[in-house]
């Protein structure tokens, strides 16, 4: 269906550690997006993925569109305190309504200096 499973729900790490989070869906889709939300702010687009197998980096962030088109992961290397926030995956809906996104419930990341 239209559900997205995002995991983990929360992570508490030490500064300098690498982080990995992922999203899965029971259906295949054409686009995966990753957003970050700082406390008290709106979500900001980090990375957009449009092709199965695509691997894209944005600084210390790397995201991949799974080969099966049902999943995506986001890695953050060498975490720093400003990485704190909620990370959301999102994917387009199927059919003719692909301008609408469905969001995962988010991964809350806490970085201990």
Partner 1 sequence: NAGVTQTPKFRVLKTGQSMTLLCAQDMNHEYMYWYRQDPGMGLRLIHYSVGEGTTAKGEVPDGYNVSRLKKQNFLLGLESAAPSQTSVYFCASGDFPYEQYFGPGTRLTVT
Binding site for partner 1 (CB under 8 A): 31, 33, 35, 40-45, 48, 50, 88, 92, 98-101, 103-106
Q: Give the SS3 label for residue 107.
A: strand
Write down the H helix ranges in the chain.
none
CB of 8 to partner 1, least distance (A): 14
Q: Rg of the chain over CA atoms, in angstroms?
A: 14
First and final CA of the chain: distance in angstroms? 40
CB of 15 to partner 1, least distance (A): 26
**How many other CB atoms are found less than 10 A from the CB of residue 26?**
10
Cα(77)–Cα(61) distance, rounded to whole angstroms? Answer: 7
Whichever of 37 and 77 has its CB closer to partner 1, that residue is: 37
Whichever of 10 and 18 has its CB closer to partner 1, that residue is: 10
Whichever of 77 and 105 has its CB closer to partner 1, that residue is: 105
CB of 96 to partner 1, least distance (A): 11
Whichever of 31 and 56 has its CB closer to partner 1, that residue is: 31
CB of 17 to partner 1, least distance (A): 25
Strands of 26-84, DSSP E: 32-37, 44-49, 55-58, 61-65, 71-76
């Amino acid at each position: 269906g239209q559900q997205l499973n995002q995991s983990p729900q929360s992570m508490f790490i030490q500064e300098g550690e690498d982080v990995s989070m992922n999203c899965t869906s029971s259906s295949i889709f054409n686009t995966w997006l990753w957003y970050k939300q700082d406390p008290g702010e709106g979500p900001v687009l980090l990375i957009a993925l449009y092709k199965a197998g695509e691997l894209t980096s944005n600084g210390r962030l790397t995201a991949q569109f799974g080969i099966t088109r049902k999943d995506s992961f986001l890695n953050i290397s060498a975490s720093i305190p400003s990485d704190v926030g909620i990370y959301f995956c999102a994917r387009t809906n199927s059919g003719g309504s692909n301008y609408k996104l469905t969001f995962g419930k988010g991964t809350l990341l806490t970085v201990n200096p």
